[in-house]
Amino acid sequence: MGRRPFAAREGNPVVLPLRALLALSVIVLLGCLTEVLPAGLLLGISADFGVSPSTAGHLVTGYAITTAVTAIPFTALVSRLPRKPVLLVLVLGFVVTNLVIAVSPWYPVVLATRIVSGAITGVMWSLVAVYAMRIAPPGLSGRALAVAMAGTPLGFAVGVPAGTALGELLGWRWTFALMGAIALPLLAWVAAVVPPVAAEPVRIGVRAALAVPGMGSVLVMVLTFSLAHNVLYTYLGPELARFGRESLLSTALLVFGGAAVVGILVVGGALDRFPRGVLAVCPASVVAAVLLLVVADGEPSRLLPAMALWGLAFGGAPTAFQAVTAMVAGRTADAAQSLTIASWNGAVAGGAALGGVVLDHAPAALAWTSAALMVLPLLTTVRLPRRIAEDVPERAS
């Protein structure tokens, strides 16, 4: 645990390739927005196409299912190709799919395009993580990964509330058009500053990763946390509409996103010393936040603090899951991370689907369902290895 960083041991200062990592971070931001933005636009989308909010929720469900199903096999497929051209094709895919969604007058076309976009995102999450670590100097791959993945909390903090507000002002189509337009200069930026990375075909050892003690518990935590979160988050607009507070949606999402950024910082400071504690606090805090939402009855003075607590807990959770996955998995970390991605996104789809059923048949039970499910990842913490943090240097060496 006391080993010095590479730069200090060798006496040669090394720096991160920040321009390239920031470009990767914007790709992650774009992927995050493409994935979650419909949750803040469901009411407008359902009204435009004449479908129910639960049917419009299929845009989230279909996307997430595709991401979950394709993450492992498509990542293995592109590992045989030079990474930079693949990265450019993925960004171009975001351009095309978001623009098609913005202009299509047919819901089935929009749904099909979302499925294609989900496949793009499934590859993107795995590719960007590996790319960031491979272009980093020795000993700084963890910091490089943190910079590259910073687009996720920024997406929740700024992009989703801004996109929701834009959708309310000008219509949801303009939000997707803007994402497609943003991806065009990003394409040039990636081409200019991201260095090429050679193909490195690697057999993804999914079975080996699953066999690692504690990995099953980690995946159960990831799946149940994401499931419980998305049951309510996907249908937050309809939930607020039950109380006549749909106008608060963009504000609620802004509070959630801002708190999510704070959650990242809090977890970053505590995770190395108290990984099990962090993993317990995150779902426990979400349960408390959802219960506060239940008793808030749409009253802003109670609703917004509940959203802040929810965002604080949610913001730290994905970082904690990724870090603990690496701690537990050791040499099977790459395969384990692909399993984590598949589990998280599969649960996004499951949460949207389950939430849609509850919304159609018992809308008042939506928040209660989310809170009840969130107890499961909390209970799973007792099955995690008790000394996961101390094992990192030996397993990673």
* Interacting residues of 253 by C-beta distance below 8 A, sequence separation 6+: 40, 160, 161, 164, 236, 307
Backbone φ and ψ for 81, nearest 5 degrees, come out as -115, 155
pLDDT at position 394 is: 36
pLDDT at position 93 is: 92
pLDDT at position 220 is: 93
Q: What is the DSSP string of 135-198?
A: HSPTT-HHHHHHHHTTHHHHIIIIIHHHHHHHHHHH-HHHHHHHHHHHHHHHHHHHHHHSPP--
Other CB atoms within 10 A of residue 386 CB? 9
pLDDT at position 245 is: 85
pLDDT at position 205 is: 65
pLDDT at position 392 is: 38
pLDDT at position 385 is: 67
Most distant pair of Cα atoms in the chain: their distance: 65
Measured distance CA(282)–CA(267) in Å, rounded = 9
pLDDT at position 309 is: 95
Measured distance CA(279)–CA(260) in Å, rounded = 15
pLDDT digits (tens, 9 = 90+) for 139-194: 666 567 667 777 776 776 677 777 777 877 888 898 889 888 988 899 999 999 98
- Dihedral sign of CA atoms 284, 288, 294, 296 in order: negative
pLDDT at position 387 is: 53
pTM passes above 0.95? no
> Which segments in the chain show pLDDT lower than 50?
1-10, 389-397
pLDDT at position 393 is: 34
CB 306 within 8 A of CB 252: no
Q: Which domains does the chain have, with CATH numbers?
A: 16-202 (1.20.1250.20), 204-397 (1.20.1250.20)
